[in-house]
Amino acid sequence: RTESCYQSFHVPSSFRCLDDVSSPATTSAAPSTLLGIRVYPQHNDVGVSRIWEAGCCLAEYLLEYPSYVKDKRVVELGAGVGLTGLVAAGSCGAIAVHMTDYTEDCLENLDYNVKLNDRWLMETRQHYNENDEVFEGVTTVRCVW
């Protein structure tokens, strides 16, 4: 296995958002913990080697318009390192997020990143929604297509 590194993100939450998808959400003070992502920059599996720009863009879009995933069950195909799915679950109020990918290395790293961010997920969701009994969690699964 190649050497890993971590990237941390201060993700503002849009959890208390308007239900109108045409209006950007307003953000408020977020919990102090950071979202962390482990990557393997020198790995030959593209799913673990980096955080893809498209995933960052989608995560930013969901932070602007969280009502697309708020109170919904989300499936992310090709989740890679899991940034977008974790943002949907933690900051945008999805009921459940099922992140998929194909290779063993990618799934192992995806599981690791979900466990790494358990505290961030719980603190972020609790901070923005005190009655969060409906949260089903984040799962990872192999997707064969």
pLDDT given for residue 131 in this prediction: 57
Closest to 92 measured CA to CA, from 121, 61, 69, 122: 69
Q: Is 68 helix (H, G, I), strand (E, B) or coil?
A: helix
pLDDT given for residue 133 in this prediction: 61
pLDDT given for residue 46 in this prediction: 86
Q: What is the spatial distance between Cα 22 and Cα 19, in angstroms, rounded to a whole number?
A: 9
pLDDT given for residue 19 in this prediction: 43
The bridge status of strand 35-39 relative to strand 5-9 is antiparallel
Give the model confidence (pLDDT) of 15-64 as tens digits.
544 444 444 544 454 445 689 999 998 888 888 999 999 999 999 999 99
pLDDT given for residue 105 in this prediction: 93
DSSP assignments along 12-58, one per residue: -B--S--S-TTSPPP-BPPPS--EEEEE-TT-S-HHHH---HHHHHH
Give the model confidence (pLDDT) of 56-99 as tens digits.
999 999 999 999 999 999 999 999 999 999 999 999 989 999 99
What are the beta bridge partners of residue 101? 142
What are the beta bridge partners of residue 5? 39
